[in-house]
Amino acid sequence: MSPVSPETTSVGWIGTGVMGAAMADRLLDAGYALTAFNRSPEKVEPLVQKGAKPAASPREVAEHSDVTITMVGYPDDVRQVVLGDDGVLAGARPHSILVDMTTSSPALAVEIAAAAAERRVRSLDAPVSGGDVGAKSGALSIMCGGDQEAFNALAPLLDVLGKTIVLQGGPGAGQHTKMVNQTLIASGMIGVCEALVYASRAGLDLETVLKSVSGGAAGSWSLSNLAPRMLKNDFAPGFYVEHFLKDLGLALAEADRMRLCLPGLALAKQLYNAVAAAGGERDGTQVLVRVVADLNGQPWGTNGG
């Protein structure tokens, strides 16, 4: 397969939420001809203003595209958008490429790869990490699984979207790698929140504590980037709790399927369930500190940050 390019490759984009819209926008800026679909059509408008063509269904997107990219919400959405009657595979041209960038089930990625192959469509699962900031700046980590030739051909396009782009293996390997990523974040967040609540209870000044612990063996991205927001009671979403809960659920379901015992991951899910129960689904993941503080009879913001 020859590499994609703005001159020769038509791209379809399905799913224009916060992440999808920012990523599709970068492809338009890079010069790709884009056909776009979203369940709520008004969310496609800003892309259409910049030259994208709107389509009436995922199927119609795929009929016009050499490469079709999906970035939707939940695995059920992926299933419908890709495998449904009006889905991508119903319209996809032979020898086209399908890329699902939704964080979704590894098993579904395998199923989609098989269905795509039957129609002579190559497929990749390619979930991302890096949030809306990374989506806007093209600095995402893109974790890929699937067809090596398709991955190679897509390199120029993925370079527009991400900075760290790695093929992890066959179908589902990208999704599995995203689960690894979220497993790391999950226990790390517990540590950050427990550490801050301990520090607060012990009467320490939290900003001063961060000076001692952020630069050494206890350091992490979460500690450097999210703990300061916790101290300012800034719970605005970089990454939504409801999306993290989805990811933790997917990771635990895969763990169950593989008969894995991951008590830290399970604990994180329980604590984020408590965040949701307290109404925090639309907050950023750093709001976990409130639940850990509440658990300790010490409302955050009084002794906290």
Q: Is residue 242 a contact point for a second copy (CB under 8 A)?
A: no
Q: Is residue 304 a contact point for a second copy (CB under 8 A)?
A: no
Name the one range near a second copy by CB under 8 A: 19-27, 62-70, 148-156, 160-168: 160-168
Q: Is residue 237 a contact point for a second copy (CB under 8 A)?
A: no
- Binds a second copy by CB under 8 A, chosen from 115, 184, 274, 276: 184
- Beta carbons of 54 and 36 less than 8 angstroms apart: yes
Q: Is residue 155 a contact point for a second copy (CB under 8 A)?
A: no
Token couple for 164: 């760290």
Instruction: Considering only the C-alpha atoms of the chain, give the largest distance between any 2 of them, rounded to a whole number of Å.
Output: 65
- Beta carbons of 226 and 196 less than 8 angstroms apart: no
Q: Is residue 94 a contact point for a second copy (CB under 8 A)?
A: no
Catalytic residue list = 178
Q: Is residue 176 a contact point for a second copy (CB under 8 A)?
A: yes
Phi and psi at residue 7, in whole multiples of 5°? -75, -30
Q: Is residue 182 a contact point for a second copy (CB under 8 A)?
A: yes
Subset of residues 192 to 231 that bind a second copy, contact rule: CB under 8 A: 192, 194-199, 201-205, 208-209, 211-213, 215-223, 225
Q: Is residue 254 a contact point for a second copy (CB under 8 A)?
A: yes
- Beta carbons of 74 and 246 less than 8 angstroms apart: yes
Shortest reach from residue 189's CB to a second copy, in Å: 8
Q: Is residue 233 a contact point for a second copy (CB under 8 A)?
A: no
Shortest reach from residue 199's CB to a second copy, in Å: 5
- Binds a second copy by CB under 8 A, chosen from 38, 68, 105, 168: 168
DSSP helix/strand/coil, 295: helix
How far is residue 272 from each of residues 178, 219, 285, 292, measured CA to CA in Å?
18, 22, 9, 10
DSSP helix/strand/coil, 200: helix
Nearer to a second copy, 2 or 208 (CB): 208
- Angle made by CA atoms 202, 204, 205, in degrees to the nearest 5: 155
Tokens 């993941």, residue?
285
Nearer to a second copy, 52 or 189 (CB): 189
Q: Which residues contact 177 (CB under 8 A, 6 or more apart)?
A: 127, 143, 145, 166, 168
Nearer to a second copy, 69 or 199 (CB): 199
Q: Is residue 303 a contact point for a second copy (CB under 8 A)?
A: no
What DSSP designation does 2 have? P
Name the one range near a second copy by CB under 8 A: 43-51, 74-82, 114-122, 170-178: 170-178
Subset of residues 133 to 152 that bind a second copy, contact rule: CB under 8 A: 134, 141, 143
In sequence order, what are the beta bridge partners of 33? 10
- Binds a second copy by CB under 8 A, chosen from 99, 113, 251, 275: 251
Q: Which residues contact 202 (CB under 8 A, 6 or more apart)?
A: none
Rounded-to-integer distance, Cα 116 and Cα 119, Å:
5
Shortest reach from residue 55's CB to a second copy, in Å: 32
x/- map, 16-55, a second copy, by CB under 8 A: ----------------------------------------
Rounded-to-integer distance, Cα 119 and Cα 130, Å:
33
